[in-house]
A and B are shown apart, each in its own frame.
Chain A
């Protein structure tokens, strides 16, 4: 498939680029791991002191949720985030023309290009936490089936995160030069590090129906903990819906785009 060929070329190019700046790669890997560890430290301190979390979620379940959120975030950061960060600038300068004139889906082309490989160290740590939590989950399901469901749910979580990022970025078609929109959605997703129901009714409704970050980790983790195939199917369907909505927003945004030559 074309998308995998583009992805393969993007990874190859990024590795060649990163190998030119090896010290930078090592430093970035340390920083990436540091951020992951810091977040882990924070959720442990908050989780063990805030009653709306520890009364509803066990430590194992809570760490599984955190890990799933970070894996979804890691996938988006590795493949899309750096490219999407540059999107507002491309819209401002008219550089989006180079993407629009190519014979492929413009949204996907705008999202791919540079692949980060410094996220690998953090990803190993997150995977370790998730697998460790999964081993101690005791939901009565064989480990291999749990792993299979986990992979599917993490892919869904990253698609939701990616779609939300694209949806927010479409505002840059109107708010010209708003390069920090990616940062804004990144901050909002920090809510997903914690069980959404711990924030109370208002935020549960907000993060389920308006900005659906509950579908990144909270609902997927819940469906795995209670092993509910029905919930998993609903999550997959909602993921498709959110992705399609981001497509729609992207094309609405494109209509407001005035290229450099027009």
Chain B
């Protein structure tokens, strides 16, 4: 346990050293929602399907906050470690690569949460007349926090899985581009999924992406009914189970085909 605590501390130190990079990431992450929030706030139409004007602005605000909170960035780390042979460096050490990566990412996340406060305050101020954050009971708040934790685990597993494709694919960038495209679209980054064409909406329901940010956002906004909530949770946990099995299989197979220079 001590070695993982040490990893966590080192990760925080590293994140603070490269703080300008972290700040640029956070500013970048808030630009796309800013585009949509400004456009919707200038809309004279009062509602859109089941969303009022305030709700749709709040949607982008909450979704961005959730996305920053629950999204790790490990896909490139895993792929790079495999492609340039740094994985060997971890394999000879007495800890599990998966846990080490998980703890390392928590360190980065801790620092990014500190930097996240500023854009959140700025956005709250800019859109103070339009934002509606529904009041939550303690039970609902705890449920939302638990849901965010499960989302974090789901994204972590999907990214870990994607990164491990590098065991067989040297040029992984194209796979990642398709992955980012699908996750941005189906996780509701550009518009709420209710506005999607029905075919895409149907496909999206069974993919893991909408459980990244869209599902927790809809729960916070109170737009998820009880039956929908139960089905969504079943799909979400099924994906986690499937990914754990796949990751174990791929790791066992991939590690046998892995080779590093000088190793």
Contacts and interface: CB of A to CB of B under 8 A. Distances in A.
A209 interface: no
Interface in A84-140: 118
Interface stretch (A3-11, A41-49, A147-155, A250-258): A41-49
Interface stretch (A179-187, A215-223, A235-243): A179-187
Contacts of B169: 24
A220 to B, nearest CB: 20
B191 A24 contact: no
Interface residues of A, number: 39
A233 interface: no
B1 to A, nearest CB: 32
A190 B35 contact: yes
A14 interface: no
B42 to A, nearest CB: 4
B32 A28 contact: no
A21 B177 contact: no
Given A51-B44, A177-B21, A30 B39 contact: no
Interface in B171-202: 171, 173-175, 177-178, 181, 184-185, 190-191, 195, 197
A17 to B, nearest CB: 10
B28 interface: yes
B95 interface: no
Contacts of B185: 38
A190 B39 CA distance: 13
A59 interface: no
Nearest to A203: B38
A31 interface: yes
Contacts of A118: 174
B142 interface: no
Interface in B20-56: 20-21, 24-25, 27-28, 31-32, 35-36, 38-40, 42-45, 48
A179 to B, nearest CB: 7
A46 B21 contact: no
Nearest to A202: B38
Given A178-B21, A187-B28, A194 B35 contact: yes
A45 B174 CA distance: 27
Contacts of A45: 191, 195
A42 B174 contact: no
Contacts of A181: 24
Contact of A184 (B28, B38, B43): B28
B21 A179 contact: yes
Nearest to A49: B48
Given A31-B174, A35-B181, A45-B191, A51 B43 contact: yes
The 9 closest A-B pairs by CB, nearest first: A27-B174, A31-B177, A24-B171, A187-B31, A28-B174, A52-B42, A51-B44, A42-B190, A175-B20
Given A42-B191, A51-B45, A184-B24, 19 more contacts: A21-B171, A24-B174, A27-B178, A30-B178, A32-B177, A35-B177, A38-B184, A46-B39, A49-B195, A50-B43, A50-B45, A51-B43, A53-B39, A187-B31, A188-B31, A198-B42, A199-B35, A199-B39, A199-B42
12 contacts: A28-B174, A28-B177, A31-B174, A32-B177, A45-B191, A50-B39, A177-B18, A177-B21, A178-B21, A187-B28, A190-B32, A198-B39
